[in-house]
Chain A
Amino acid sequence: MIFGISPQALMSQLLVGLINGSFYAMLSLGLAIIFGLLNIVNFAHGALYTLGAFVAWFLLEYAGIGYWGALLLSPLVVGLVGALIERTMLKRLHGLDPLYGLLLTFGLALIIQGLFLNAYGSSGLPYSIPEALSGGRDLGFMFLPNYRAWVIVFSVAICIATWYVTERTRLGSYLRAATENPILVQAFGVNVPWMITITYAIGVALAALAGVMAAPIYRVSPLMGSEMIIVVFAVVVIGGMGSIMGSIVTGFALGVIEGLTKVFYPEASNVVVFVIMALVLMVKSSGLFGKAA
């Protein structure tokens, strides 16, 4: 017995925490990329996560395309929407205080959420777990649904791949260089404005991907993004704004901490993340993995 609960129960709660953490990690990863490379505080991230789930639902409902197709198509569609937003709106705010971008994307989030709320109501729409991943296996200490196992594996893979691309490849080095000194990079013949657009599109495509993955677990609901976004911002702040590795690690870690709170003091489970945020900011204001400003 550890703190009054059995090791089996503790193991299962850790695992459940990791599953929730994978959503935090994927969402905060997109935010970190967008902030780190573009200096935009993308408040529309939650709404685009919602949009990702809805696109999956539309694909199933109107085109008969199931989960696997949606996993590919929905991020593409939302990525294009993101590119459109960047080209037509965010681009105009380039060079201004990040606060303007925050206000713009916050407004967009409210519009997207309001439109879906009006059309589909707040309780959401059902979306089934794909046949191949239904059921689960008995791990001895818990019954693990196959779909949740898939969520962990897939999101870890996505996180590592994203980290690798930005930190270890030529494309990533262009991106990082463009944020340091856009004029110089442009002088080398790199089309910096398009690179910014593509980065934003990739960031929101990650949100859409998380949305598709969340659809079978929760439901496709207009409120799913706004329920998530505040926690995810807390994750980004704790990890350090713009730090990609930081957001991945903190995402998973906070999922686990929140999961444990649900066992030891469930009433506090929706505030624990913010308590940690306050503590971290008091000790290290740039976040755990952030560079000091």
Chain B
Amino acid sequence: MIGGRSWKSVLVFSALASSAAAQMTDNLVKIGVLNDQSGLYADLSGQGSVLAAKLAVEDFGGKVDGTPIEVIFADHQNKPDVGSNIARQWFDVDKVDAIVDVPTSSVALAINEVTKSKNKVFLVSGAAASDLTGKACSPNTVHWTYDTWALANGTGKAVVKAGGDTWFFLTADYAFGQALERDVTAVVKANGGKVLGSVRHPLNASDFSSFLLQAQASKAKVIGLANAGGDTINTIKAASEFGIVKGGQKLAGLLVFITDIHALGLKVSQGLQLSSAFYWDRDDKTRAWSKRFSDRMNKREPSMVQAGVYSAVLHYLKAVQSLKSDADGKAVVDKMKQMPTDDPIFGKGSIRVDGRKIHPMYLYEVKSPAESKKPWDYYKLVREIPANEAFRPLSESECPLVKK
């Protein structure tokens, strides 16, 4: 271990030396998009995130300070061991400078550690666990798009305020589901509600009728879905079949992506409330960007995760440009925190000391088939949650980087 540490300090030293000489490592800025390319989260991240990163590189001009930028990608199969192996290989052998996206919180938490130990940069868009800027926060990580605290604060709070004061959770049994259940439980309790129970289902379970019957038997007013992607789709579909909503219980999709709504169809999903950081049809700028995206993506509109990848990569490149170096991951992230963020689709924002990117969140409701006028016309705005309310306040943070 001593050998390893001194070797590392040599690396850090040489990195500092080279950054003083204003150079890019290997004469290349290399961005690795690591996500689910083939499984239940592939549509909300997958190739769409790769395209989003490429769009950011194109908009930046393809070069940072004369050094070319390259985007590569890999499939982590939603497995932490596969993900961290790829990350190690990318950092050690393939000269990757920053890893982007990484849905599936269990994988993201593993990459978070690898990135810190290698002093590179980790830009999270896909993963949700608020631990990434909480007790697991890292000086090398920026959590961009959304997190479980923001979802709880958006959808969770709205549902409790509308009278849903007793809850039962269907929770995906891994880091993300558990974090989401925890954060929503806190919101429910803080607003005078009660949690009657929960059932933990394996990731990628195909049939949810058994779990839904348990939720039904609990007599809770609200069934909170602390799962995502294909799992959420199957749950909502089965709930509609088993007459859960007709029976008087309300479904709260705590993390619903536009790609899920597309797969479900409006007939089944209408009326569902959801929190999102991005919707393609919000304003002229998001429409213009989304058109560029969908023209190259089989006419599919971008999810908030994919939009977040674009925005994060763009800001990363600006920081590297300003430092004239990509060598020291922590220095790049520090620079990203100093510079205000600004891009066409997320607008103006900032990154906090704990690595949390701050911007408004939006509470949407899914339109009925009659209200939808064109393809992918799925959401209507219920409420904008201003940036200063959307994310966990620093005063509640468990992040060691936050000085209290």
Contact = CB atoms under 8 A, between A and B. Distances in A.
Contacts of B230: 122-124, 221, 223
A259 B210 contact: yes
A122 B268 contact: no
B237 A218 contact: yes
Given A9-B213, A9-B217, A218-B234, A148 B202 contact: no
A91 to B, nearest CB: 31
Nearest to B269: A126
A20 B207 contact: yes
B7 interface: no
A181 B21 CA distance: 80
Contacts of B267: 126, 128
Interface stretch (A168-176, A205-213, A266-274, A279-287): A266-274
Interface string B216-253: 01000000000001100110011001110001000000
A12 B263 CA distance: 28
A219 B263 contact: yes
A143 interface: yes
Nearest to A270: B202
Contacts of A267: 173, 200-202
A121 B259 contact: yes
* Tier of interface size on chain B: 35 or more
A124 B263 contact: yes
A125 interface: yes
A122 B205 contact: no
A117 B38 CA distance: 7
A13 B215 CA distance: 12
Contacts of B205: 269-270
A117 B217 CA distance: 37
B176 to A, nearest CB: 15
Given A121-B300, A126-B263, A269-B201, A17 B43 contact: no
A270 B267 CA distance: 30
Contacts of B358: none
Given A117-B42, A126-B268, A228-B206, A217 B241 contact: yes
Interface string B190-204: 000000000111101
A221 B213 CA distance: 24
Contacts of A221: 230, 263
B241 A148 contact: yes
B243 A145 contact: yes
Which among A124, A128, A267 has the highest number of chain B CB atoms within 10 Å? A124
A121 B297 CA distance: 11
A145 B210 contact: no
A227 interface: yes
Contacts of B39: 122, 223
A129 B265 CA distance: 13
B260 interface: yes
Contacts of B260: 123
Which among A6, A19, A121, A218 has the highest number of chain B CB atoms within 10 Å? A121
Nearest to A138: B243
A125 B298 CA distance: 15
Interface string A92-110: 0000000000000000000
A270 B200 CA distance: 12
Interface in B35-82: 36, 38-44, 46
Given A9-B217, A270-B205, A123 B43 contact: yes
Interface in A193-228: 217-219, 221, 223-224, 227-228
A142 interface: yes
A228 B204 CA distance: 11
A122 B38 contact: yes
Contacts of B204: 227, 270
B232 to A, nearest CB: 10
Nearest to A214: B206
A19 B242 CA distance: 13
Nearest to B46: A122
A264 to B, nearest CB: 11
Which among A19, A147, A223 has the highest number of chain B CB atoms within 10 Å? A223
A223 B40 contact: yes
B210 A219 contact: no
Contacts of B200: 266-267
Which among B173, B210, B242 has the highest number of chain A CB atoms within 10 Å? B210
Given A6-B217, A266-B202, 5 more contacts: A121-B42, A121-B46, A122-B40, A223-B39, A262-B210
The 8 A-B pairs with the shortest beta carbon distances in the complex, nearest first, are A126-B265, A262-B210, A123-B263, A122-B42, A123-B43, A270-B202, A121-B43, A145-B241
